[in-house]
């Protein structure tokens, strides 16, 4: 059974890591090619969930390290990209970068034991999430988790951006799951790389959640370096992962006044559950 996922220390003097103990940074150092950074979330003692586009098909586990704390880097012994992720899969339709199924799991060489600064985020449709939602056994179904965690309306959520060596900043966003979903998704075609795309469905698939824009609130935008980080929703005092940051329309993350069509797209964790279940079957998470 999963320990206490999505639990934080939020007292006044708590550190950024005590408030976001699931947050990790992934560092890919390719021989003669420099470094690439992404964010990720601890989802079990051995596994980190991130974006598949953080890796190239020929990347190898020894080139990847996971920073679980300031100056604490862990080695990796496995990279598992979603089998349906294929960045070049729709070039024939004018889509230079196709981010469908943009998720990956990174296996650490040694387990990260739960501590005040390291603790997994709750994955929906697991026993740990049911306990964190305080659901009785008969209501502990994946459909019930989805109904509670992803209601069809504008939904408060947040992502975490590293700001400086050991500072983590929560950025509040609104997932457009109600009637604003259509307009949010439609802005995908304003992304310069998608100028030649004919049909919205060629870029935005049912796997995506959409955030950003200025209505009803001005949402911050993710930076490319935020890719792979979790989109988190709160239930009571516990935290759940509903998305993985994938891509955005404009790279305007540090500009204070982004245009209303600057949207960000995230992979919906509920849409990749069969893959998560398969990859994490030995992690004792108790998938429902
Ligand atoms: C967070 C994030 C990731 C990626 Br990958 C980007 N790259 C991109 N988006 C569309 C096509 N390519 C962007 C951009 Cl652009 C803004 N934010 C991004």
pLDDT in tens, 121-130: 999 999 999 9
State the closest ligand 1 atom to the C-alpha of 193, by its place in the atom list counted from 1.
Answer: 11
d(CA 166, CA 67): 11
Task: Establish whether 92 is a catalytic residue.
Answer: no
d(CA 150, CA 271): 12
Task: Establish whether 161 is a catalytic residue.
Answer: no
> Is residue 1 very low, low, confident or very high in pLDDT (cuts 50, 70, 90)?
very low
> H or E element: which one contains 278?
helix 273-279
Mean pLDDT over residues 162-191, rounded?
A: 95
32-67: pLDDT as tens digits: 888 999 999 999 999 999 999 999 999 999 999 999
Q: Where are the beta strands (DSSP E) in 1-121?
A: 23-30, 34-42, 47-50, 64-69, 72-81, 104-108
More reliable by pLDDT, 70 or 53: 53
Residue-level pLDDT at 2: 53
| Residue ID of nearest Cα to ligand 1 atom 1 | 224
Nearest CA-CA partner of 146 in 130, 160, 159, 134 = 130
Residue-level pLDDT at 164: 79
ipTM of the modeled complex: 0.90
> Is residue 120 very low, low, confident or very high in pLDDT (cuts 50, 70, 90)?
very high
Residue 7 has pLDDT above 80, yes or no: yes
| Residue ID of nearest Cα to ligand 1 atom 6 | 247
For ligand 1, which residues put their CB under 6 angstroms from it? 53, 97, 191, 193, 222, 224, 226-227, 245, 247-248, 250-251
State the closest ligand 1 atom to the C-alpha of 221, by its place in the atom list counted from 1.
Answer: 17
d(CA 40, CA 163): 15
Task: Establish whether 53 is a catalytic residue.
Answer: yes
Q: How is residue 147 written in tokens?
A: 């109904």
Rg (alpha carbons) of the chain, rounded to whole number: 18
Catalytic residue from among 16, 44, 100, 102: 102
Residue 138 has pLDDT above 80, yes or no: yes
How many angstroms is it from 13 CA to the middle of ligand 1? Answer: 35
d(CA 203, CA 195): 11
């Amino acid at each position: 059974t999963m320990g206490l996922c999505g639990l934080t220390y939020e007292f006044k003097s708590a550190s950024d890591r005590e408030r976001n103990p699931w947050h990790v940074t992934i560092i890919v150092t390719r021989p003669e090619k420099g470094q690439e950074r992404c964010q990720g979330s601890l989802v079990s003692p051995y596994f980190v969930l991130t974006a598949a586009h953080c890796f190239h098909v020929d990347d190898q586990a020894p080139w990847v390290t996971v920073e679980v704390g300031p100056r604490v880097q862990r080695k990796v012994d496995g990279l598992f990209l979603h089998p349906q992720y294929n960045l070049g899969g729709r070039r024939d339709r004018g889509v230079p970068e196709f981010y469908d199924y943009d998720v990956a799991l990174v296996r650490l060489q040694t387990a990260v034991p739960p501590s005040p600064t390291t603790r997994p985020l709750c994955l929906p449709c697991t026993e740990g999430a049911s306990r964190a939602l305080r659901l009785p056994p008969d209501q502990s179904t994946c459909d019930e988790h989805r109904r509670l965690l992803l209601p069809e309306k504008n939904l408060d959520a947040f992502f975490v951006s590293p700001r400086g060596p050991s500072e983590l900043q929560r950025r509040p966003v609104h997932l457009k799951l109600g009637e604003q979903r259509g307009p949010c998704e439609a802005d995908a075609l304003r992304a310069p790389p998608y100028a030649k795309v004919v049909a919205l469905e060629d870029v935005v698939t049912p796997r995506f959640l959409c955030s950003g824009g200025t209505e009803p609130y001005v949402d911050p935008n993710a930076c490319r370096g935020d890719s792979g980080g979790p989109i988190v929703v709160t239930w009571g005092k516990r935290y759940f992962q509903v998305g993985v940051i994938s891509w955005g329309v404009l790279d305007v993350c540090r500009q204070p006044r982004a245009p209303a069509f600057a949207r960000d797209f995230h992979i919906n964790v509920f849409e990749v559950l069969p893959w998560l279940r398969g990859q994490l079957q030995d992690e004792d998470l108790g998938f429902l």
